[in-house]
Amino acid sequence: MVTDIHIGLGVVVIAINLIAGIWGLFVWKQKLPANKVYAQVLAASQTVIIGQAVLGLLLLSQNLRAAQQLHYVYGLLPVAMIIFAYSARGKENGRNILIFSIAALLSMGLATRALMVSGILG
């Protein structure tokens, strides 16, 4: 059951980070202010990453392993992307939007790779 939730949440991580990343790049490129809805989507994208990592650790604690060890690298790097984005933010709002957008897109790519090397796709 936890494995199914982990797989499903992985797809959510990919989708919501794609949305947050593209939306953020659009806001940054158009020099628009980040509205509350975008901020909530960005926060949700980061929250599902943390939740996914916690579920992954729960699976490890139950001795359930991924097909390839590389899955753990791809699974934990999005958490590192969140930490990096917060540590790199500054006073300029446009720069922050760009940083968080790139972090979201990289997290989406890493989550996609984690899914690809997990062994569930065949």
At 36-47, the pLDDT tens digits run 999 999 999 999
DSSP track, 25-80: HHHHHTTPPP-HHHHHHHHHHHHHHHHHHHHHHHHHHTT---SSTHHHHHHHHHHH
What pLDDT, on the 0 to 100 scale, is given for residue 67?
A: 86
DSSP track, 79-99: HHHHHHHHHH--S-HHHHHHH
- Neighbour tally for 88: CB within 10 Å: 13
What pLDDT, on the 0 to 100 scale, is given for residue 122?
A: 58
Q: What's the mean pLDDT in 69-96?
A: 96
Q: Which two tokens stand for residue 26?
A: 């659009």
Report the first-to-last Cα separation within the chain, whole angstroms: 19
